[in-house]
Structures are given as structure tokens and as C-alpha cells.
Amino acid sequence: MLIFVIDNDTGSASKHITLTDMNRKLITYLDVVEGYVNSVTNAILEDQGTYPVAMQDDEGPFTRFIRIPSPQRAGTETQKRDYARMKAREIVEDMKTWNPHLDYDTILQNL
């Protein structure tokens, strides 16, 4: 399926974008985000206390450690897992503001 951009003056189609290409890029980005959510969820469930994130700046690579919550102690296993996943999603949403590995444009440049 193609999307045509119509020129209002001439009525002709000037360029097109495939939905398949747009979907592929979005799915790739969502897979990266979901990978982080799964990883942080496991760290919470294992009560690791911090989650390491590999970063790089002008001085070279370094590791940033994010404090993560303790796992839920009471409730069913499903409730414990859901709590960890909810907290992991909150952490990953915050990470999107400063982690270049979760920047949509940066990920798309590497495709």
C-alpha cells in the first residue's frame, strides 16, 4: 500500500511512502523498548537494586546505574510480576528522555 502526497495546486502525486516501511521502523523501535522493559522487570523481580545502562559521552563509554524498586513481597506471583512490569514501564518511559538507545530518531537512523 502506498501513501501519496498530493500537491494541492497541481493535483499530482509528488512522492510516496510505503506503509510497510513505516511499520517496520515502528516495530523495530517498539521491540527495543520492550526489550528494556523485560530486562528492567527481571532486575526488579531479582531484587538487584540498580539497573546498569551503557552510555557514551565525549570522554568515552561509561555505565549509568538506575535505582530500581524492590519487588513486591505480598500477593500472588501474577501480582508480583505485574507490579514489576508496571514499575519497569515507568522507568523505561523516564529513560526515553535521556537514553540515546531509546531515542526513536536514533534507532531509525541505524536501520
Torsion, Cα of 73, 76, 82, 86 (10° steps): -30
Would you state the pLDDT for residue 7?
Answer: 52
Would you state the pLDDT for residue 11?
Answer: 52
Instruction: Provide the residue count of the chain.
Output: 111
Name every residue whose Cβ is closer than 8 Å to that of residue 111 and which is 6 or more positions away in sequence: 24, 25, 28
User: 99 pLDDT band (50/70/90 cuts)?
Assistant: confident
Query: 52-91, pLDDT tens digit by residue?
Result: 998 888 888 999 999 999 999 999 999 999 999 999 999 9
Would you state the pLDDT for residue 2?
Answer: 45
